[in-house]
Structure 1
Amino acid sequence: MQIKQYRTQFIQTLSAIYDEGEAESFFYLILEEKKQLRRIDLALQPDLVFSEEEIEVWNTILEQLKLEIPVQYLLGKTHFYGLEFEVNENVLIPRPETEELVDWIIESQQSEVSNQKLRILDIGTGSGCIAISLAKNLPNATVFAIDVSEKALATAKKNAKNNQVKVNFIHKNILETIDLEQEFDIIVSNPPYVRNLEKQEIKKNVLDNEPHLALFVEDNNALVFYRKIAELAQENLSSNGQLFFEINQYLGKEMIVLLEKMNFKNIELRKDIYGNDRMTRAGV
């Protein structure tokens, strides 16, 4: 079968679940991974064909996509901040808005002396996407990363090795942590922040496949991780240190109030590219 014919069939099959643009993006992601062909290759060589064996592989993937298993889990990897990351059911799939948080941190260091040594801590690292991206782009930084899940840390360690950076990974439950035991210039976290009341807004492919431990908090204690991390930051940030958070888009005002009550300074709330309150920065 010609690949372009299969492409049409693939998109039509998924049209009841995904919009056409998303289904088409899945097709080309898989095409590049499985056959090392890009969109332009197919346009220039419209008569390319799939073998029967290849069609069997694609049909298996198609059935899994119909069950709304994320394409990144099916491929076992995704891209984040120009780097490739292994992903699986033990870690969240990195999101574009988290790239914006990484960008903000890197941007905040551009005015600093380039050879100034930095100590950075990423709390709730998951796949390691934040910590590894910072280590790759801030070569003067020593980066540490914490997660409660040993399986997530195993994935993050592989990602650090694959991206050729050194990150000091620590297995720790941050909610049970009394002291971080050293000072950091930057503490960053994208902790669980989706309230149970917001579950109906979460797509089925996320709800049924991504780890709930990394997603959800109780409705009556939605800022539990932020409060704890901010308390630790008060004691463990350096004198000019900065605390960065990715936040629940509905709780921007509550986050500002929390940080103000804890006497943080120069508090900023930033929107993501979709216009949602998504990130905060504060100093001690």
Structure 2
Amino acid sequence: MPIIAADLVRQVKSAIQSLYSVQEVEAIAYLFVEMSTGAIRMDCHLGKEVEQPKDWEQVLARLATHEPWQYVLGKGWFRDRIFELNPHTLIPRPETEELVDLVLEKITPNKTTCKVLDVGTGSGCIAISIALEALQAQVSAWEISPEAQTQAMQNATSLGAKVTIELQDVFQWSTRSDSETWDIIVSNPPYVMFQEASQMEKHVTDFEPGLALFVPDANPLIFYQVLESMSSKHLKQDGWIMLEINQALGQETKALFSTNRWKNVELKQDFHGKDRFVIAQRDI
């Protein structure tokens, strides 16, 4: 049924106006309509007619429960590409795009091959982006969730990226062959403490997968500890590990790499100026 695109925008705004800030409501409404119908903001201002999306009332009802628009649509943006999502994959975030930039900076343009491993790939956004933007990279990824692995494989296929995605629990890394090594290991692992959940937005805590978000309050660095151990064995000499981190635990995470196994250890900030990444280079 044809409908004016601006009317769809107004309906989305009405459904979510009590859930987000005024600026967020505006941004979400226009983006949602664009991704649902193809009508950009200018089309809405010009009174363009579009076909009303299927099950529109149901869609609005889901948005009104605080369900993230990315899950309602089943897709989201990352580095100017659309990634399909499901409830077992985290919604890609702008900060993680910066993590990809850090990896790309370490890939030597004239090097024949650079082996990269993404641990906990989720939707595959990190691994796939690296594979598409550094053609000399040989990219593989690990994921513990079968549903997330399936989604990542579908994204790799639809986006034309050559990425090997395996089901692998990082805590079982010692089962891998000692001869299996990488030039770069990258990860955005779970790092949110359960005690932080009360400070988080409802659309995150109620809908995004806890398996990919939360860590025990008593041992919030559990994933970084295992990643440090695994990388010290499976990174090549002078290889890099690059991690997204909990901003509240920057110095503690950096300290894990303050041993003679590592050099050039850095705590880096994101575009908000918050501690967000730790990188380190294997020494011995």
Structure 2: distance between partners of 1:247 and 1:230: 13
- 2:32 — aligned with what? 30
| Stretch moving more, 55-64 or 199-208 | 55-64
Q: The residue matched to 1:221 in structure 2 has which SS?
A: coil
Letter in 2 for 1:205: H
Paired AA for residue 114 in structure 1: N
TM, length-normalised to structure 2: 0.92
For residues 264 and 35 of structure 2, the distance between their equivalents in structure 1, rounded to whole angstroms, comes to 45
Matched, 1:219 2:221: no
Listed one character per residue, the Cα deviations across residues 146-176 of structure 1 (whole Å, up to 9, x for unaligned) are 0111111000000000110111111111112
Give distance in 2, aligned partners of 1:233 and 1:6. 49
Residue 169 of structure 1 corresponds to: 165
- Tell me the residue number matched to 1:7: 9
Structure 1 moving runs of 4+ over 6 Å: none
2:135 and 2:50 mapped to 1: Cα distance? 44
Q: 1:19: which partner in 2?
A: 21
Q: Deviations over 1:60-93 (max 9, x none)?
A: 2221111011100111111101221000101000
Q: Which moved more, 1:3-12 or 1:181-190?
A: 3-12
Residues 167-191 of structure 1: CA distance to partner in whole angstroms, max 9, x if unpaired? 1111111112215420100001111
% same residue: 37
Change (3 A) 1:165 1:4: closer
Contact 1:11 1:20 in 2 (8 A): no
- Aligned residues of 1:179 and 1:232 also touching (Cα < 8 A): no
Q: CA RMSD in A?
A: 1.8
Taking a change above 3 Å as real, the CA distance of residues 207 and 262 of structure 1, as seen in their structure-2 partners, is farther
- Of 195, 208, 226 in structure 2, the residue corresponding to residue 228 of structure 1 is 226
Conserved? CA contact 1:180–1:232, under 8 Å: no
| Alignment coverage as a number of residue pairs | 278
Q: Is the 8 A contact 2:71 2:85 kept in 1?
A: yes
Q: Give the aligned partner of residue 183 of structure 2.
A: 185
Structure 1 gap segments, 5+ residues each: none
Aligned mate of 2:149, from 142, 147, 153: 153
Which of 112, 115, 119 in structure 1 is aligned with 2:115?
Answer: 119
Show CA shifts across 1:211-259 (max 9, x none): 1001000011111111111111111111120000000000000011111
For 2:97 and 2:21, how far apart are their aligned partners in 1? 24
What's the TM-score, normalizing by structure 1?
0.92
Contact 2:30 2:41 (8 Å CA) reproduced: yes
Amino acid of the structure 2 residue aligned with 1:106: L
Please give the alpha-carbon distance, in whole angstroms, between the structure 2 residues aligned to 1:113 and 1:59.
50
Rounded to whole Å, the distance in 2 between the matches of 1:6 and 1:185 is 48
Between 115-124 and 253-262, the greater mean CA deviation after superposition: 253-262
Provide the residue aligned with 1:88 in structure 2.
86
| Structure 1 counterpart of 2:91, one-letter code | I
